[in-house]
Amino acid sequence: MTPVRVSIVGVLASLLLILVVLELVRGRRLKERYALLWLATGVVLLVLSAWRGGLNTIAGWVGVTSYPPAVLFAVATLFILLVLLHYSTVISKLTDENVELAQRVALLEERVGRGPPTASRSPAD
Amino acid sequence: MTSTSVVAVVPAFNESGAVGRVVDEIRTACPAAEVVVVDDASTDDTAAVAEARGATVLRLPFNVGIGGAVQTGFRYALEEGFDRAVRLDGDGQHDASEIPTLFAPLERGEADLVIGSRFVDGVGTYRPPLARRLGIRVFARLVSLLGGQRVTDTTSGFIALDRAGIELFAREYPHDYPEVEATLVALRSGLRLAQVQVEMRERETGSSSITFVRSLYYIVKVLLALLVASLRRYPRLEGAER
């Protein structure tokens, strides 16, 4: 069985995560779209931490017999991987869009016929 | 065919020492062509040099890499309605006097994409270092296998396109180390490919974008791109349909 203290810490940590995410969304520093996976992470961890019997049962399913809280770590890790993977897809999309914008800028600038004078271009960093 | 409009796309990154001559040579070899230099955010005066020689210059606001730069040129070709495009590197390694050779299969209506290859029939004099030669050969074999047609030189940047080819590459062109993958994409999209023997010069100034440290990334990236490209479905091009 999961030690009570582990459950309490788990609940508090998940609540903290949920609150921080909500606060970031409220302050418009995090878009809902990117908050969803984090909220899901928080809620799942909260449920698994609070529902001690459930955690035990799930631990039994996956063959963790000695220390059920290990399942908490595993689930948390899995969700973090999901979030990171999601971000990789977001970054890829942004990269493509960024290049396309640069290409459009180059084409339009040529069409407008007054590109920035070469001499005043700041050197790339 | 009355008049065929031709554009020469020249990607250049910090090539102020070579790009002027490249532009001159293209204009001599192919006076009807509009020369478009794509300046990939050079920190030297590549753009000014090219412009002074009468080239149209597309200035990218920041460095996007060779593939993205080349694609900018193809987009220009698409939007300005050019019938044919040829791509030559800004470092002068491709010989502009061979442009007519590249265009010949397009003119005969035999191909949509012509690759200037260094190894068509073993008559070329280009002898790269062993590791490089091996890499070039492996990629060529792989693309031949996956694309269903024998390709001798997938790493050549000296290519010519007809309208169908321009349309494809304006829409779909890999951003870094693009040549190998682009060849496969062209084959899988149904473009007709022809290869002609060309010679390539040693670099005049600057240094190759493929340094030894980057080779590993290059190989792995291209292999992954080939794998993924062969799993992807590419719409058959209408222009390439026959």
Please report, as a single letter, which amino acid is at residue A68. P
CB contact under 8 A, B68 and A124: no
**Within a domain: B201:** yes
Quick one: pLDDT at residue B137?
A: 84
Closest CA to B157 of B226, B66, B77, B83: B66
Quick one: pLDDT at residue B28?
A: 94
Quick one: pLDDT at residue A120?
A: 42
Mean pLDDT of chain A: 89
**Within a domain: B165:** yes
**Within a domain: B241:** no
- Among A99, A107, A119, the residue with its CB nearest the CB of B76 is A107
**Within a domain: B188:** yes
Farthest CA pair distance, chain B: 50
Give first-to-last CA distance, chain B, whole Å. 19
Give percent above pLDDT 70 in chain A: 90
**Within a domain: B76:** yes
Structure tokens belonging to residue B232? 């992807």
**Within a domain: B96:** yes
With beta carbons under 8 A apart, name residues in chain A contacting B75: 103, 107
CB contact under 8 A, A105 and B61: yes
CB B200, CB B95: distance < 8 Å = yes
**Within a domain: B222:** yes
Residue A50 burial by Cβ neighbours in a 10 Å radius (0-12, 13-18, 19+): middle
Segment holding B39, helix H or strand E: strand B34-39
Quick one: pLDDT at residue B119?
A: 83
CB B53, CB B20: distance < 8 Å = yes
Quick one: pLDDT at residue A85?
A: 96
Quick one: pLDDT at residue B26?
A: 96
With beta carbons under 8 A apart, name residues in chain A contacting B58: 106-107, 109-110
Cross-strand bridge partners of residue B200: B94
Quick one: pLDDT at residue B240?
A: 47
pLDDT top residue among A31 and A116: A31
- Among A107, A115, A124, the residue with its CB nearest the CB of B75 is A107
With beta carbons under 8 A apart, name residues in chain A contacting B61: 102, 105-106
- Among A103, A105, A118, the residue with its CB nearest the CB of B47 is A118
pLDDT at A113 over 50: yes
Closest CA to A34 of A91, A72, A111: A91
A62-71, A87-96, B87-96, B232-241: which range is least confident on average?
B232-241
DSSP code for A119: G
Q: Which domain does B61 fall in, by range?
A: 6-231
CB B74, CB B161: distance < 8 Å = yes
Quick one: pLDDT at residue A123?
A: 46
What residues of A are in the B interface, CB distance below 8 Å?
Answer: 95-96, 99, 102-103, 105-107, 109-110, 115-116, 118-119, 123-124
Distance separating alpha carbons of residues A49 and A55, to the nearest angstrom: 7
Quick one: pLDDT at residue B48?
A: 96
Quick one: pLDDT at residue B201?
A: 80
**Within a domain: B182:** yes
| Mean pLDDT of each 10-residue bin along chain B, 242 residues long | 83 94 95 95 96 95 95 96 95 92 94 91 69 83 91 91 96 90 93 92 60 79 90 73 46
- What is the distance in angstroms between the Cα of A29 and the nearest Cα belonging to chain B? 27
Strands B113-117 and B193-197: parallel
**CATH number for position B157:** 3.90.550.10
Quick one: pLDDT at residue B236?
A: 78
With beta carbons under 8 A apart, name residues in chain B contacting A123: 43
Quick one: pLDDT at residue B17?
A: 92
Segment holding A85, helix H or strand E: helix A69-112
Structure tokens belonging to residue B35? 């020369």
Quick one: pLDDT at residue B124?
A: 63
